[in-house]
Amino acid sequence: MKILLDECVPIQVRSALPGHDVYSATDSQWRGLSNGELLHLAVQQGFDVFVVADKNMRYQQDLSDRRIAVLELWTNHRPTLERHFQYISAAVERMASGQYFELTAPVSFPRNR
């Protein structure tokens, strides 16, 4: 899969997606573009998934006719995301064309002492 990380998504999330072609908006000279512009360019460039941490994306953009899937992360806090790379990877693997999926924070249980 060809995956685009939004500018606000830490670049380290790339490590959660081995075996995929992962690009960052900051790598591709798309820094500072609006999400609408990024979506348009991503579709033109053949991206399959757009990973964001913007909670308002689904309300700000018309996603009804897009083929690109959008994965919304629950946070953009790098250390938190790094602890849950398997969770992010599993979500990407389940994404279908045109789907919008909000990935919520994983449930963690206290350790027995």
pLDDT of 51-110, one tens digit each? Answer: 999 887 766 666 666 789 999 999 999 999 999 999 999 999 999 999 999 999 887 655
**Whether pLDDT at 111 is above 60:** no
Percent of the chain with pLDDT strictly greater than 70: 88
The tens digit of pLDDT for each residue in 10-55 reads 999 999 999 999 999 987 788 888 888 888 899 999 999 999 998 8
**In 1-113, which ranges are continuous DSSP H helix?**
35-44, 57-60, 78-82, 85-94
